[in-house]
Amino acid sequence: MLHHKIIVLTGGADGIGWECAKAYSKAGATVCILDKNPIAENKLNELETAQKTAIVCNLVNENEVADAFKTIIEKFGAIDAIHNNAGIAHPSKTLDQTTDAEWDLLMNVNLKSILYTTRHGIGHLKKTKGCILNTSSMVGTIGQNNHAVYVATKGAINALTKAMALDYAPYRIRVNAVSPAAINTPTLQSWSKEQPNKEEIQHYLDKLQPLGSMPAGDVIADACLFLLSDAARFITGTILPVSGGAELGYRTII
C-alpha cells in the first residue's frame, strides 16, 4: 500500500511510532525516523525494506529539524508523507499547578514540532502531492482530568489538522489525524506506574474500551497505514478515532 513512498516519522523509536515504522516498512515504504533517542542498528534492521534511516533529532530545535530534512532529501530525493507522532504527556497536573517550564515543554514537543516539520517539509510534499498525518488523542475531544496542558495540545492538534487540510488542499496535500484512546505503550505504562492507585488504573485502562482490553500500538499503525495510503486519497481534515469505542455512551466500569 505504500510501495516506493518515502515517509518521515517523528517519535518512531518506540511505542506507537515504532509500530507504525514496522507497518510502513512492511507495506513497502522507505521509513525515515526522527527521534530524540537513537535506534540501535539491529533494531532498525527489523524494518523489512532495504531503505530506511534513523536520525537523532531534537524536534523542538528548528536547526536540527531543517538538517534532518536536508539529509533525507540528499539520501532519498523526495518526501511523500510526514507523520507527526512525537509527543509527551507528562506532567499529570491541573492547569494552576503547571509550571511555565512544563507548559513550554508540552507545547513545544506536541505542537511546535509540527510547525517545524511542516515548515521544512511542505515544499517537498507539494512536489509529490503527499500527505501529513498527526497523532492526536481522544482526550483532545472528550477531555481528561489532571492533564490540562496535554489535553490542550491534543485539542490544538485536532483544530490544526483541519486548518492545515484547508490550507494545503489546493496543492492536493491531504492532512488527517489519528486519535487513540488507551494503548499499551512504554509511555502509558510509565505514566500508570507513577499514579498512586496503580492497580486501579491498570484495571480502568483495560476496561476503558468496549471492544476489549487495552491493545498494543499495532491497531493504531493499521489505521495510520490506511490514512497515508492511496486508499484514503479523498479523505482530508479527518480526526479518526481508533479507540475501541471508548468515547461511546455512559457505561459502568467494574
> Which among 24, 116, 150, 168 is annotated as catalytic?
150
SS3 237: coil
Which runs of E-coded beta strand occur in the chain?
A: 6-10, 30-35, 52-56, 81-84, 131-135, 174-180, 239-242
Query: Cell numbers of 96, please?
Result: 494552576
Q: In what order do the strands lie in the sheet with 131-135?
A: 52-56, 30-35, 6-10, 81-84, 131-135, 174-180, 239-242
Alpha helices, H only, 92-147: 100-107, 113-128, 139-142
Q: Decide if 76 contacts 30 (C-beta within 8 A).
A: yes
Q: How far apart are CA 175 and CA 228, in angstroms?
A: 9
How would you classify residue 60: left for phi > 0, otherwise alpha for psi between -120 and 50, otherwise beta? alpha
Q: Can 150 be counted among the known catalytic residues?
A: yes
First-last CA distance in the chain = 41
Residue indicated by cell numbers 530506511 = 52
Active-site residue list: 150
